Amino acid sequence: MLYLVPTPIGNLEDITLRALRILKEVDVVLAEDTRTSRKLFQHYDIVTPLKSHHAHNEHQATQKVVDQILEGLSVALISDAGTPAISDPGFVLVRACIQAGIKVECLPGPTAIIPALVCSGLPCNRFYFEGFLPHKKGRQTRLIYLSQLSCTFALYESPHRLQKCIMQLIEHCGSERKAVVCREISKMFEEYARGTLGEILLLLTNKQLKSKGEIVIVVAEKEKVKKKKYS
Protein backbone atom coordinates (compact mmCIF):
# COMPACT_ATOMS: atom_id res chain seq x y z
CA MET A 1 0.00 0.00 0.00
CA LEU A 2 0.93 3.67 -0.17
CA TYR A 3 1.28 5.74 3.00
CA LEU A 4 1.20 9.54 2.91
CA VAL A 5 3.28 10.65 5.88
CA PRO A 6 3.39 14.27 7.09
CA THR A 7 6.77 15.47 8.33
CA PRO A 8 7.66 18.44 10.58
CA ILE A 9 7.44 21.91 9.06
CA GLY A 10 10.05 23.20 11.49
CA ASN A 11 10.48 21.65 14.92
CA LEU A 12 11.58 18.02 14.51
CA GLU A 13 9.49 17.05 17.54
CA ASP A 14 6.31 17.74 15.53
CA ILE A 15 5.97 14.18 14.24
CA THR A 16 3.72 11.42 15.50
CA LEU A 17 4.83 8.08 16.90
CA ARG A 18 2.80 6.39 14.17
CA ALA A 19 4.59 8.37 11.46
CA LEU A 20 7.97 7.29 12.83
CA ARG A 21 6.84 3.66 12.95
CA ILE A 22 5.58 3.71 9.36
CA LEU A 23 8.78 5.34 8.07
CA LYS A 24 10.79 2.57 9.75
CA GLU A 25 8.55 -0.30 8.61
CA VAL A 26 7.97 0.44 4.89
CA ASP A 27 10.27 -0.92 2.19
CA VAL A 28 11.07 2.47 0.67
CA VAL A 29 10.35 6.15 1.32
CA LEU A 30 9.81 8.54 -1.57
CA ALA A 31 11.09 12.01 -0.68
CA GLU A 32 10.81 15.39 -2.39
CA ASP A 33 14.46 16.12 -1.55
CA THR A 34 16.46 13.24 -0.09
CA ARG A 35 19.04 15.64 1.35
CA THR A 36 16.40 17.41 3.43
CA SER A 37 14.70 14.18 4.50
CA ARG A 38 18.00 12.57 5.47
CA LYS A 39 18.34 15.07 8.33
CA LEU A 40 15.01 13.86 9.75
CA PHE A 41 16.04 10.22 9.24
CA GLN A 42 19.36 10.71 11.01
CA HIS A 43 17.65 12.48 13.92
CA TYR A 44 15.31 9.51 14.48
CA ASP A 45 17.67 6.70 13.41
CA ILE A 46 15.56 5.72 10.40
CA VAL A 47 17.48 3.57 7.94
CA THR A 48 14.75 2.90 5.35
CA PRO A 49 16.00 3.51 1.77
CA LEU A 50 15.18 6.98 0.42
CA LYS A 51 14.34 7.61 -3.23
CA SER A 52 13.72 10.93 -4.95
CA HIS A 53 10.16 11.79 -5.97
CA HIS A 54 9.65 15.45 -6.85
CA ALA A 55 7.70 17.70 -9.20
CA HIS A 56 10.20 17.24 -12.04
CA ASN A 57 10.15 13.43 -12.11
CA GLU A 58 6.71 12.66 -10.64
CA HIS A 59 4.98 11.91 -13.96
CA GLN A 60 7.82 9.69 -15.22
CA ALA A 61 8.33 7.82 -11.94
CA THR A 62 4.70 7.24 -10.98
CA GLN A 63 4.01 4.10 -13.02
CA LYS A 64 7.19 2.45 -11.77
CA VAL A 65 6.16 3.11 -8.16
CA VAL A 66 2.66 1.74 -8.84
CA ASP A 67 4.16 -1.42 -10.34
CA GLN A 68 6.45 -1.89 -7.34
CA ILE A 69 3.54 -1.58 -4.90
CA LEU A 70 1.51 -4.08 -6.93
CA GLU A 71 4.48 -6.45 -6.71
CA GLY A 72 4.32 -6.29 -2.91
CA LEU A 73 6.37 -3.31 -1.75
CA SER A 74 5.04 -0.97 0.91
CA VAL A 75 5.86 2.68 0.13
CA ALA A 76 5.69 5.92 2.10
CA LEU A 77 5.59 9.34 0.45
CA ILE A 78 6.91 12.43 2.25
CA SER A 79 7.54 16.02 1.21
CA ASP A 80 10.28 18.34 2.47
CA ALA A 81 7.91 19.56 5.17
CA GLY A 82 4.25 19.11 6.01
CA THR A 83 1.66 16.90 4.36
CA PRO A 84 2.40 15.53 0.86
CA ALA A 85 0.31 16.88 -2.06
CA ILE A 86 -0.55 20.16 -0.27
CA SER A 87 1.31 22.56 -2.59
CA ASP A 88 3.84 19.73 -2.94
CA PRO A 89 4.19 16.62 -5.19
CA GLY A 90 1.89 13.69 -4.46
CA PHE A 91 -1.42 14.13 -6.25
CA VAL A 92 -0.32 12.30 -9.42
CA LEU A 93 0.92 9.27 -7.47
CA VAL A 94 -2.15 9.14 -5.21
CA ARG A 95 -4.48 9.26 -8.22
CA ALA A 96 -2.54 6.54 -10.04
CA CYS A 97 -2.57 4.25 -6.98
CA ILE A 98 -6.32 4.67 -6.52
CA GLN A 99 -6.91 3.91 -10.18
CA ALA A 100 -4.77 0.76 -9.85
CA GLY A 101 -6.79 -0.44 -6.84
CA ILE A 102 -3.99 0.21 -4.37
CA LYS A 103 -4.93 1.16 -0.83
CA VAL A 104 -3.81 4.68 0.08
CA GLU A 105 -3.61 5.80 3.69
CA CYS A 106 -2.85 9.35 4.85
CA LEU A 107 -1.60 9.94 8.38
CA PRO A 108 -2.72 13.12 10.16
CA GLY A 109 0.05 15.55 10.93
CA PRO A 110 1.80 18.87 10.30
CA THR A 111 0.69 21.41 7.71
CA ALA A 112 1.35 25.16 7.77
CA ILE A 113 -2.16 26.29 6.85
CA ILE A 114 -4.02 25.13 9.98
CA PRO A 115 -1.71 26.65 12.66
CA ALA A 116 -1.60 29.91 10.69
CA LEU A 117 -5.37 30.05 10.36
CA VAL A 118 -6.15 29.13 13.97
CA CYS A 119 -3.51 31.48 15.43
CA SER A 120 -4.47 34.38 13.15
CA GLY A 121 -7.36 35.46 15.34
CA LEU A 122 -9.53 35.79 12.23
CA PRO A 123 -12.78 33.80 11.85
CA CYS A 124 -11.92 30.21 10.87
CA ASN A 125 -15.22 28.34 11.02
CA ARG A 126 -15.20 28.71 7.22
CA PHE A 127 -12.12 29.44 5.13
CA TYR A 128 -10.71 29.22 1.62
CA PHE A 129 -7.21 27.92 0.92
CA GLU A 130 -5.59 29.28 -2.23
CA GLY A 131 -2.11 27.76 -1.97
CA PHE A 132 0.45 29.62 -4.11
CA LEU A 133 -0.88 32.27 -6.47
CA PRO A 134 0.19 32.05 -10.13
CA HIS A 135 3.35 34.09 -10.70
CA LYS A 136 2.07 35.90 -13.79
CA LYS A 137 -0.76 34.59 -15.94
CA GLY A 138 -4.00 34.35 -14.00
CA ARG A 139 -2.65 36.04 -10.86
CA GLN A 140 -4.90 39.10 -11.09
CA THR A 141 -7.94 36.93 -11.78
CA ARG A 142 -7.29 34.95 -8.62
CA LEU A 143 -6.77 38.11 -6.55
CA ILE A 144 -10.08 39.53 -7.75
CA TYR A 145 -11.80 36.27 -6.82
CA LEU A 146 -10.21 36.15 -3.37
CA SER A 147 -11.08 39.78 -2.63
CA GLN A 148 -14.79 39.03 -3.01
CA LEU A 149 -14.93 35.96 -0.76
CA SER A 150 -17.30 36.02 2.19
CA CYS A 151 -14.94 33.98 4.37
CA THR A 152 -11.34 34.14 5.58
CA PHE A 153 -8.80 33.06 2.98
CA ALA A 154 -5.19 31.93 3.23
CA LEU A 155 -2.36 31.61 0.75
CA TYR A 156 1.30 30.68 0.66
CA GLU A 157 3.90 33.14 -0.59
CA SER A 158 7.65 33.09 -1.09
CA PRO A 159 9.74 35.60 0.91
CA HIS A 160 10.98 37.63 -2.07
CA ARG A 161 7.42 38.14 -3.33
CA LEU A 162 5.86 38.97 0.06
CA GLN A 163 5.91 42.76 -0.19
CA LYS A 164 4.63 42.72 -3.76
CA CYS A 165 1.86 40.32 -2.75
CA ILE A 166 0.74 42.57 0.13
CA MET A 167 0.67 45.54 -2.25
CA GLN A 168 -1.47 43.57 -4.69
CA LEU A 169 -3.82 42.49 -1.89
CA ILE A 170 -4.19 46.16 -0.90
CA GLU A 171 -5.01 47.02 -4.51
CA HIS A 172 -7.82 44.44 -4.62
CA CYS A 173 -8.98 44.23 -1.00
CA GLY A 174 -8.21 47.71 0.32
CA SER A 175 -5.63 48.83 2.86
CA GLU A 176 -8.08 48.47 5.78
CA ARG A 177 -8.75 44.75 5.29
CA LYS A 178 -7.56 42.82 8.34
CA ALA A 179 -4.79 40.29 7.74
CA VAL A 180 -2.01 38.29 9.38
CA VAL A 181 1.37 37.30 8.01
CA CYS A 182 2.60 34.08 9.64
CA ARG A 183 6.29 33.39 9.29
CA GLU A 184 8.46 30.38 10.19
CA ILE A 185 5.68 28.42 11.94
CA SER A 186 7.01 26.03 14.63
CA LYS A 187 10.58 27.26 14.11
CA MET A 188 12.82 29.31 16.39
CA PHE A 189 11.91 32.66 14.80
CA GLU A 190 8.17 32.07 14.50
CA GLU A 191 6.39 35.38 14.01
CA TYR A 192 2.87 36.72 13.50
CA ALA A 193 2.31 40.21 12.12
CA ARG A 194 -1.32 41.20 12.72
CA GLY A 195 -3.18 44.31 11.60
CA THR A 196 -4.58 45.78 8.40
CA LEU A 197 -2.93 45.14 5.05
CA GLY A 198 -1.76 48.75 5.10
CA GLU A 199 -0.15 48.34 8.52
CA ILE A 200 1.57 45.13 7.44
CA LEU A 201 2.96 46.85 4.35
CA LEU A 202 4.35 49.59 6.59
CA LEU A 203 6.06 46.96 8.77
CA LEU A 204 7.67 45.45 5.67
CA THR A 205 8.71 48.85 4.32
CA ASN A 206 10.32 49.78 7.64
CA LYS A 207 12.02 46.36 7.91
CA GLN A 208 10.09 45.62 11.13
CA LEU A 209 8.82 42.44 9.50
CA LYS A 210 11.37 40.22 7.80
CA SER A 211 10.79 38.74 4.36
CA LYS A 212 12.43 35.43 5.22
CA GLY A 213 11.40 31.81 5.70
CA GLU A 214 8.14 30.01 5.02
CA ILE A 215 5.19 32.40 4.87
CA VAL A 216 1.40 32.06 5.14
CA ILE A 217 -0.85 35.09 4.58
CA VAL A 218 -4.31 34.99 6.16
CA VAL A 219 -6.84 37.64 5.11
CA ALA A 220 -10.23 38.44 6.60
CA GLU A 221 -13.44 38.18 4.60
CA LYS A 222 -14.92 41.07 2.67
CA GLU A 223 -16.97 43.19 5.04
CA LYS A 224 -20.69 43.01 4.48
CA VAL A 225 -22.37 46.26 3.49
CA LYS A 226 -25.01 47.13 6.04
CA LYS A 227 -28.38 47.89 4.50
CA LYS A 228 -29.94 51.18 5.49
CA LYS A 229 -33.24 50.99 7.28
CA TYR A 230 -35.92 53.36 6.13
CA SER A 231 -38.76 54.35 8.42
pLDDT score recorded for residue 51: 94
What does CATH list as the number for 113-219?
3.30.950.10
Cα separation, 50 vs 155, in Å, equals 30
Q: Which residue has the higher pLDDT, 67 or 54?
A: 67
Q: Which band of pLDDT confidence, cut at 50, 70 and 90, is reported for residue 185?
A: very high
Q: Domain locations in the chain?
A: 2-106, 113-219
Q: Answer yes or no: is pLDDT of 181 > 80.
A: yes
Q: What is the pLDDT of residue 231?
A: 54
Q: How far apart are CA 147 and CA 122, in angstroms?
A: 15
3-state helix, strand, coil in the chain (%, to 5): 35, 20, 45
pLDDT band at 230 (very low <50, low <70, confident <90, very high): low
CATH number belonging to domain 2-106? 3.40.1010.10
pTM: 0.89
Q: Judge whether 57 and 88 are in contact, CB under 8 Å.
A: no
